[in-house]
Amino acid sequence: MATALITGATAGIGRAFADLLARQGFDLVLVARNEARLKLVAKELHDKHSVAVEVFRADLSRYDECAWVEQRLADTARPIEVLINNAGFAVRQRFAKGDLLAEQTMFDVLVRAVMRLSHAAAQGMVARGSGVIINVSSVAGWRHTSTYAASKAYVTSFSIALGRELRNRGVKVTALCPGFTHTEFHQRAGMDMKRLPEFMWLDADALVAQGWRDAQRNKRISVPGRQYQALRYLLKFWY
């Protein structure tokens, strides 16, 4: 069976991708920092779907640990057919007065790791003439607000460019741009979301299903939810 590698697979959107792909019969390689949680998720998915699940503890902000994942992706003896670059978090602070290391760490996970893992995966996919890369970006990339937003703008632009480069090589690349989604993301970033109206929230399972469908159709950008599709249209006139 084909194998999918998912970063940030223990919670939220990454976990929803792990469920969806396991249901479809993919063997999985799950990447995150918390090893105990990785093992728990791996056992649940294996028991429920009878797929092989490998856990890979790595902090993608660390160059050495990111390189372990690159090596796994480049291993021709154990090919990866699907790469989901999903791991991420936000740092909430003003840039000039803020902690530079925190900005750098976020940048390394959201941008550097996505770029390096895409490169490691794409080489084998091109050689085999097949593969899918989904880079989890954000609607935040449409606005000019922070290192987080700028990083997501990179992810979207980079994914479109890579998709164009590989379109005749059998490799599909999609930037998945979620809006606000119920996950651990906002709590981890210390954001108070109580005032966000209910209609702005997305469900992780539904958005992942949409993202996967759009990737199968080789769409460059996937924007789940009518509210965010409308926002995308309106922002074209704003900037």
Ligand X SMILES: NC(=O)c1ccc[n+]([C@@H]2O[C@H](COP(=O)([O-])OP(=O)(O)OC[C@H]3O[C@@H](n4cnc5c(N)ncnc54)[C@H](OP(=O)(O)O)[C@@H]3O)[C@@H](O)[C@H]2O)c1
Distance CA 187, CA 207 (A): 20
61 touches ligand X (CB under 6 A): yes
185 touches ligand X (CB under 6 A): yes
User: Which residues are registered as beta bridge partners of 38?
Assistant: none
Question: What DSSP state is assigned to residue 90?
Answer: -
148 assigned to active site: yes
Token pair in block for residue 145: 């607000």
Choosing from 12, 163, 211, 225, the residue that interacts with ligand X (CB under 6 A) is 12
87 touches ligand X (CB under 6 A): yes
Closest distance of CB 17 from ligand X, Å: 9
Closer to ligand X at the Cβ: 1 or 101?
101
Closer to ligand X at the Cβ: 170 or 190?
190
Closer to ligand X at the Cβ: 3 or 183?
183
Count the alpha carbons within 13 Å of 179 in the hemisphere toward its beta carbon.
Answer: 17
Q: What is the DSSP code string of 31-74? A: EES-HHHHHHHHHHHHHHH---EEEEE--TTSHHHHHHHHHHHH
Amino acid at 20: L
Closer to ligand X at the Cβ: 51 or 208?
208
Selected catalytic residue, list 39, 63, 97, 148: 148
63 assigned to active site: no
Mark the segment that binds ligand X (CB under 6 A) among 73-81, 85-93, 158-166, 215-223.
85-93
Question: What DSSP state is assigned to residue 1?
Answer: -
Closer to ligand X at the Cβ: 9 or 166?
9
Nearest by Cα to 147 from 191, 97, 92: 92
Token pair in block for residue 150: 């700028």
Choosing from 1, 23, 25, 34, the residue that interacts with ligand X (CB under 6 A) is 34
Choosing from 22, 80, 83, 109, the residue that interacts with ligand X (CB under 6 A) is 109
Choosing from 2, 24, 33, 126, the residue that interacts with ligand X (CB under 6 A) is 33
HEC-encoded secondary structure of 101-125: HHHHHHHHHHHHHHHHHHHHHHHHH
Token pair in block for residue 136: 């989890």
- Burial of 160 (C-beta count, 10 Å sphere; 0-12/13-18/19+): middle
Choosing from 180, 212, 224, 228, the residue that interacts with ligand X (CB under 6 A) is 180
Closest distance of CB 21 from ligand X, Å: 15
Q: Which residues are catalytic?
A: 148, 152
Q: List residues near ligand X by CB under 6 A.
A: 7-14, 32-34, 37, 59-61, 86-89, 109, 136, 138, 178, 180-181, 183-185, 188
